[in-house]
Structure 1
Amino acid sequence: MNHWQKVVFITEERTYMRAMLCWRLLALFGICTLATTTWALEACPANCVDSECSALGCVQCDEGFYLYPDPNAGKSVCIESCPDGYYTNPVSWCEECETVNCAVCSDEYTCTECKPGYEVNKDGDCVFSSYRV
């Protein structure tokens, strides 16, 4: 396959979703282009499947580890458990809770613990602690 056939352009709006799609494409094709930047697979740190990663970080983690888009590192890393504010999706990726002010969630919209100063109401939203349902 020619190099140009492997390059895939992604135009989704949300940066996080673009990165997640790019990780998938890297795993499948070994290369991905977002806007004007192209990433290709390269050597990776421990806990990445087949020791492969890109400028975006790990593409897939070893069993027992979760892919986390670390905002401090600017790339994906493999960690033993998802941090507060994230949940583990069915393909072992850490994804951010969608509920505003949620500290711990079991899935995208189910908050089980809120950040300090907030509490979970009957609808699963995080509201000021002074609010009672």
Structure 2
Amino acid sequence: MTTIALVAHDQKKDALVAWAKAHEAVLTGHTLFATGTTGGRLQTETDLAVTPVKSGPLGGDAQLGAMIAEGKLPVLVFFIDPLSAMPHDVDVKSLIRLAILYDTLLAVNEETATAVMKSLSVA
């Protein structure tokens, strides 16, 4: 069992929820965190037990970054929308930077997230 954070930009929330449903059997065996709206949607649209943190722009990205820095978050799945400007872009960059710095297993799109789930299901 590991701790996984699930995050998605607004235009990617539908994709993340659909992806989570497709991988619900594997995700169920892990401790899950998610930022604001994404976490709420996962709680209502799946059977997953998700602990929500604040919305990304309101500090959720920073909360997850702190978990990474403290060694409490080994996996981050973040469906990023590369075509939309983000008002809290500095927070997103900080979260990604911390994930890289602390060698966090990081998936930023559906294909890599699926590969991560496959690796966790055989580990």
Interval containing the TM-score (normalised by the shorter chain): under 0.3
Task: Give the TM-score of the pair, scaled to structure 2.
Answer: 0.26
Task: Give the TM-score of the pair, scaled to structure 1.
Answer: 0.25
Q: Which has the higher contact order (CA 8 A, sep 6+)?
A: 2
Higher helix share: 2
Structure with larger Rg: 1
Higher strand share: 1
